[in-house]
């Protein structure tokens, strides 16, 4: 039971803070014509987290932590990715949110894959924190730890999608979402700068 609770607390600590994945899943809840059309984004993000958690808990963390060049590649590629994502989010406006056609399923899935698997912050957190924390457990306890972390991810992303769809039904002005986008872009650029400083 300790492993299960540990997995929940650790996953919440990593997934709740504002990040690229969260922003994208939430925005799909807002921009899609109905909640069901936003499901691909939430499911893809949760599935990617599931994959990363399984790999981290059952061995990937040991590989990445032993080879510095893998970490460097993740960091350098991720910094450029975060800078680009910040630009895209900053450039969106209320007209896009209110009038632009919603992303089709294929683009939702591809975009969710990119923000989940090309984000070094998420990768390093998963490998460095969840992966290393899992090392203290063995057998069934390790499985419980992984299941707890994965469950938090699925509940969180589906919840974000539902909240986004709920806010849309309240007819909140598009300008508010523009402000949120600007703040999100600043956060993402700040993350990129933080990673660059840690790299230097």
User: For each of the chain's 200 residues, which pLDDT tens digit applies?
Assistant: 778 888 887 677 667 665 678 878 888 888 788 889 899 999 999 999 999 888 888 876 566 666 777 767 767 776 787 787 778 767 765 444 444 457 788 888 998 888 888 776 677 767 767 776 777 777 888 889 889 989 999 999 999 999 888 877 776 666 766 776 677 678 778 777 877 787 77
Query: Cα separation of 3 and 140, whole Å?
Result: 9
Domain map (residue ranges) of the chain: 2-11+20-199
| Residue of 169, 188, 200 whose CA lies nearest to 24 | 188
DSSP 40-54: HHHHHHHHHHHHHHH
DSSP 75-141: HHHHHHHHHHHHHHHHH--HHHHHHSPPPPHHHHHHHHHHHHHS-HHHHHHIIIIIIHHGGG--THH
Q: Write down the pTM of the prediction.
A: 0.72
| Residue of 157, 185, 131 whose CA lies nearest to 26 | 157
Diameter of the chain by CA atoms?
52
């Amino acid at each position: 039971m300790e492993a299960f609770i540990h997995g929940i607390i650790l996953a919440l600590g990593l997934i709740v803070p504002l990040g690229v994945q969260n922003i994208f899943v939430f925005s799909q809840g807002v921009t899609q014509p109905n909640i069901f059309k936003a499901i691909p984004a939430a499911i893809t993000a949760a599935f990617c987290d599931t994959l990363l958690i399984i790999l981290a808990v059952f061995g990937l963390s040991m590989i990445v932590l032993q080879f510095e060049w893998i970490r460097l590649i993740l960091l350098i590629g991720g910094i450029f990715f975060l800078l680009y994502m910040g630009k895209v989010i900053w450039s969106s406006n209320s007209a896009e949110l209110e009038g632009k056609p919603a992303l089709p399923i294929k683009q939702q899935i591809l975009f969710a894959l990119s923000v989940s698997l090309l984000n070094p912050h998420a990768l390093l957190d998963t490998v460095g924190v969840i992966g290393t924390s899992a090392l203290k457990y063995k057998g069934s306890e390790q499985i419980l730890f992984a299941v707890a972390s994965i469950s938090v991810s699925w509940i969180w992303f589906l919840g974000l999608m539902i909240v986004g769809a709920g806010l849309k039904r309240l007819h909140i002005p598009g300008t508010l979402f523009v402000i949120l986008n600007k703040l999100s872009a600043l956060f993402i650029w700040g993350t990129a700068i933080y990673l660059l400083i840690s790299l230097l």
